[in-house]
Amino acid sequence: MTTLYSIKGLDCASCGLKIEHAIKKLPGVTYAAVNFATLRLHLEAADPEGVFDEIKRIEPTVEILPLRQGSERTASDEQVFQPKRELVILAAALVLFGVHAVFEDRFHESGEPILDYGIALAAYFLAGINVYISAFRTIRKGDFFDENVLMVIATAGAIAIHALSEAVGVMIFFKAGEFLQNLAVTRSRRSIRSLLASRPDKANLQTGTGIQQVPPEQVKVGEVILVRPGEKVPLDGEVLSGQSSLDSSALTGESVPLSARMGDSLMAGMINLTASLKLRVTKPFNESSISKVLELVENASARKAPTENFITSFARWYTPVVVAAATGVAVLPPLLMTEADFKTWIYRALVVLVVSCPCALVVSIPLGYFGGIGLASRRGILVKGSNFLDALSAVKTVVFDKTGTLTRGNFEVQKVVARNGYGEQRLLELAALAEMHSGHPIAKSIVGKLAEMGLKPDSTTVSEHIDLPGRGVRAVVGGHEVLVGSDGLLHHNRIAHDVCELEGTAAHIVIDGVYAGHILIGDTLKADAKEAVSQLRKIGIERIEMLTGDNRCAAKFVAGALGVDAFHAELLPEDKVRLLEEIKLASNHGGKLAFVGDGINDAPVIALADVGVAMGALGSDAAIETADVVLMTDSPLKMVEAVKIARQTRRIVWQNIFMALSIKLIFVALGTMGMASMWEAVFADMGVSLAAVVNSTRVLREKWLS
């Protein structure tokens, strides 16, 4: 089981990668992932304490704290970053640097090197003391390719060749860039964390002495809680009294309020808007809807996308290669070229060193992915990992289930057609008795229709009941064998029957081997189903198909109304699996395949698809367990949003990769040719890091979704 920990004091993305790499090598560790964007460690190990000792050895300033339910969940989330203190230090260093710049020529003319070096070095060490401390710790661990080590070598080398002003200026500029980057990362992290602020922190428990305010974790199933206007519903429960409107946007992304009255079920995380409600708790807090949503979003960062894994590997060899190249730039030209001098080429090598750190990539990429996952969760779309976000961005084929996905699933009896001497009422009674013990929506509609008519058939006449998965039911009613089911059930039993050319679902009835008629069941399209299909095509989905266990007539009507490319009807669960495999093989245009279903009956095909999507899964344990992406409402348009968010996230991630690598490579080339100074090099390093972090936060804005 993977355990989640909070990391306090981790102020360097590269350090996070080193910690993760070292942990993975330890015996007894089966899984480890460090996410700098969320300050989380996902760990699966036989001896966590041994892992923590190793982390302390690698990074003594880092503190690992277990995430527990309650107030401690966010207690350690704040990064060790004190902007006011850092700003004062930076301002003091700038003042000293300004004094040195104004009087530098006078110091040289008067021959006072002590003042010259003293003021410059005071500014240099004031700005760079933390850099030196971090570099010392890194070297002591035997690692020479840390950004702090490279900055120390580069600026110390500049001082050695008497490029004093540049050494001080670069260190201050590096400090300023680091300050701005930390500020941007901290604000981005807070913005992302605000997406998860829906976690209730108190519950008003009704006791024998009155109302007592307690943490939600302490409330037991069956106890009664009071939810006042403006408060969050702290636990899943059933309304005992009261009537109110509730905001469910934290769970579903939908802004339209829900109405609640006695007998309705409410989910933890909803906000009560108008009147007090009393609820009987139906689930403990750790099994509540909001708890599961938060857990999914928290854990999503542990499943890294291929792009993140590539950068993790890339960062390990990129810096050593650049350091080796810088060494070659410093040594080889003076040895091979007669007019080349060591001072010029050492300076150029120092420029290459300054620009070599891959921090822009290491920081911005996980931040971009977590921002995408966070925005999706705010919109009622749960993506279980960055890898699934990447897969979703590459989807070219979408296969939908029909009932409950594209249609409402609220079946209603529209017509009873009797044959071979049976009356309509008697046919409906026999069908209802046969279906009484079935949980299928069609069965419920038949039983419900009989209740509407005020008829109460004698259930004691039912002596046998057998479910026939994918086909219907068989029952013995009053000594008669009754079959109720699909067209496929009749073919399977070789029963002659009506040819169905109806705009709906027909439940056929067979009594003692004789066809007795059919009941026409109507199901309506969801209001936004057609628009969802249209929007999917507009954003580049190349093929849309539909799979259903319903009869061909009903499926043909829905497929025609929506304009899907193909449909397959009268399918058993194993048929859906077989057909989905065939659709995947037939996809000759590349890209991924997504299956969208209700997450319960469609579990096998959801698991088989490249991206399994469960729709309308609010409160459904089976959906959350099975699917890669969970749409918390029953709107097909959420699938369009999910693909858009995934593509925008991937676009921003690759923008950062291209921007960082291209700018760094350009400045490495310019530095080698002597066309870039250390000032420009530190801008290329810190400037591009800051730009990449700011670019990553764009995914959190929702304007581009419209």
**Taking a C-beta distance cutoff of 8 angstroms, is the pair 547, 402 a contact?**
yes
Do 43 and 110 sit in the same domain of this protein? no
Average pLDDT of the chain is 83
The pLDDT value given to residue 195: 54
The closest of 234, 231, 317 to 275, measured between CA atoms, is 231
Do 511 and 609 sit in the same domain of this protein? no
Does residue 197 sit within a domain?
Answer: no
CA angle 536, 619, 190 (to 5 degrees): 75
Q: What is the pLDDT of residues 10-22, one digit of tens each?
A: 767 777 777 888 8
pLDDT at 637 over 90: yes
Do 533 and 656 sit in the same domain of this protein? no
Where are any strands of DSSP class E within 402-438?
412-418
CB atoms within 10 A of CB 639: 26
Do 188 and 305 sit in the same domain of this protein? yes
Residue of 146, 247, 401, 685 marked catalytic: 401
Q: At residue 19, what are phi and psi to the nearest 5 degrees?
A: -60, -45
Q: What is the pLDDT of residues 69-112, one digit of tens each?
A: 433 343 344 445 678 888 999 999 999 999 988 888 887 777 77
The pLDDT value given to residue 177: 78
Q: What is the CATH number of the domain that holds 215?
A: 2.70.150.10
Q: How far is CA 644 from CA 152, 330, 385, 597, in A?
A: 44, 48, 16, 19
Q: At residue 326, what are phi and psi to the nearest 5 degrees?
A: -65, -40
pLDDT at 137 over 60: yes
At residue 279 the predicted structure's pLDDT band, cuts being 50, 70 and 90, is very high
Do 347 and 423 sit in the same domain of this protein? no
Q: What is the CATH number of the domain that holds 572?
A: 3.40.50.1000
DSSP 683: I
Query: Of the candidates 585, 606, 632, which is a domain's last residue?
Result: 632
Query: Of the candidates 490, 522, 554, which is a domain's last residue?
Result: 522
The helix-helix angle for 306-336 and 637-672 (nearest 10°) equals 10
Does residue 640 sit within a domain?
Answer: no
Do 560 and 506 sit in the same domain of this protein? no
The pLDDT value given to residue 496: 73
What is the rounded distance in angstroms from the CA atom of residue 304 to the CA atom of residue 120?
A: 45
Does residue 639 sit within a domain?
Answer: no
Between residues 342 and 495, which one has the greater pLDDT? 342
Does residue 9 sit within a domain?
Answer: yes
Total structural domains within the chain: 5
At residue 58 the predicted structure's pLDDT band, cuts being 50, 70 and 90, is confident
The closest of 622, 543, 555, 552 to 583, measured between CA atoms, is 543
Do 181 and 311 sit in the same domain of this protein? yes
Query: Of the candidates 632, 659, 684, which is a domain's last residue?
Result: 632
Residue span of the structural domain in which 489 resides: 412-522
At residue 404 the predicted structure's pLDDT band, cuts being 50, 70 and 90, is confident
Q: What is the pLDDT of residues 587-628, one digit of tens each?
A: 766 689 999 988 666 778 888 899 999 887 655 666 667 788
Range from 12-21, 235-244, 337-346 that averages highest in pLDDT: 235-244
Tell which phi-psi region holds residue 9, choosing left (phi > 0), alpha (psi between -120 and 50) or beta.
Answer: left
Do 435 and 506 sit in the same domain of this protein? yes
Do 335 and 400 sit in the same domain of this protein? no
Does residue 591 sit within a domain?
Answer: yes
Query: Taking residues 541-565, what's their average pLDDT?
Result: 88
pLDDT at 444 over 70: yes
Q: Is 610 a catalytic residue?
A: no
At residue 67 the predicted structure's pLDDT band, cuts being 50, 70 and 90, is low
| Structure tokens, 27 | 């015996």
Query: DSSP string spanning 148-175?
Result: HHHHHHHHHHHHHTT-HHHHHHHHHHHH
Do 455 and 396 sit in the same domain of this protein? no
Tell which phi-psi region holds residue 242, choosing left (phi > 0), alpha (psi between -120 and 50) or beta.
Answer: left
Between residues 497 and 646, which one has the greater pLDDT? 646
Do 468 and 553 sit in the same domain of this protein? no
Does residue 295 sit within a domain?
Answer: no
Do 546 and 685 sit in the same domain of this protein? no
pLDDT at 573 over 60: yes
Query: Taking residues 347-351, what's their average pLDDT?
Result: 90
Does residue 327 sit within a domain?
Answer: yes
Does residue 448 sit within a domain?
Answer: yes
Q: What is the dihedral of CA 214, 215, 220, 224, to 10 degrees?
A: 50
pLDDT at 407 over 80: yes
Q: What is the pLDDT of residues 466-501, one digit of tens each?
A: 888 777 888 888 888 888 887 777 878 888 765 555
